[in-house]
Amino acid sequence: MTKISVFIATSVDGFIARKNGDIEWLHNSGHCEVDKDEDFGYQVFFSTVDALVMGRHSFEKVLSFDGAWFYGEKPVYVLTNRGVKIPPHLKETVSTLSGSPREITQKMEKLGHHHIYLDGGVTIQKFLAAGLVDELIITKIPVLLGSGIPLFGPLSKDIKLQHIDTQAFKNGFVQSHYKLIK
């Protein structure tokens, strides 16, 4: 069985980006100084996953960042029905997929992936609605945006969560870890 995890940051009011997709507020939260050596548990989490599944908009956003490719040699699957341009230097590790969340999960299992890192607002919402997400690790950044792209969307039924842990960081970030009760 493939485990599907979300590791993401939101504003306190639950937005992952501004309406135009801008995420600069993640790095420029006013009084929140981030120690350059602090990764908020990301590397430990990332070491446990063997593939990433992300939406096209998230992939295009990551490509816009200056610097190295964040995901190294781990396979990255970009969900798209329209296609996406994959830069030549990433063709060995990045590919596209389409289908329902259940079909995507089945493809991941057939490919031998045991722990998936799921990223992208709409993608996360669809997998949650399908009951396929196993855990959420959400870091709240102490800023209110008022509007933007929400992490969560409408649901046809409640999704019950079991709280695993919450950690407060010196800079005001608060990270909570939840397991979804199925």
What pLDDT, in 10s, does the model give residues 83-130? 899 999 999 999 999 999 999 999 999 999 999 999 999 999 999 999
Q: Residue 170 belongs to what H/E stretch?
A: none
Residue 45 host element (H or E): helix 42-46
Q: What confidence category does residue 160 fall into, taking pLDDT thresholds of 50, 70 and 90?
A: very high
**Confidence at residue 4, expressed as pLDDT on a 0 to 100 scale:** 98
**Which DSSP helix (H) or strand (E) runs through 56?**
helix 56-64
**Polymer length of the chain:** 182
**pTM as predicted:** 0.92
Residue 54's Cβ-side half-sphere holds a number of Cα atoms within 13 Å equal to 22
pLDDT, tens digit (0-9, with 9 covering 90-100), for 50-73: 999 999 999 998 988 877 788 999
Q: According to the model, what pLDDT value does residue 24 have?
A: 84
Ordered DSSP codes for 118-146: EE-HHHHHHHHHTT---EEEEEEES---S
Q: CATH assignment of 3-180? A: 3.40.430.10
- Residue extents of the structural domains in the chain: 3-180
pLDDT of residue 28: 66
